[in-house]
Amino acid sequence: MAENKLTFEQALKQLETIAEQIERGQIGLEESIAKYEEGMALVRQCREILSKAELKIQQLQQRADGTLETSPFQPATGPDM
C-alpha cells in the first residue's frame, strides 16, 4: 500500500491505524508482522516527504530589506536519492 504515493496525511493516518491494530492485539502475529513491515514503509515515505518539504523551506531566503524571496527547488541527485 505504501508503494502508492500517498500524501503525508494519508500515510500518517494509515500508520496510526496500523499502530492501533497492533497495540490492541486485534490481529494475529503473522498479520502483525506484515502490518509492521507496511508501517515501516509508511515511515520511510513520511520521512522522504518531510525531507523534501524541509529542502523547500530552506530555500526561502531573506533579502536585505527583510522580505523573503524564494529560489527554485533543486532536488538533490546522486547515490543517496
pTM above 0.85, yes or no: no
Please check the confidence at residue 3 and state whether its pLDDT lies above 70.
Answer: no
Rounded mean pLDDT of the chain? 83
Q: What is the longest distance spanned by two Cα atoms in the chain?
A: 61
- C-alpha dihedral over 49, 32, 3, 56, to 10 degrees? 0
For the chain, helix, strand, coil in percent to 5 are 60, 5, 35
Please check the confidence at residue 25 and state whether its pLDDT lies above 60.
Answer: yes
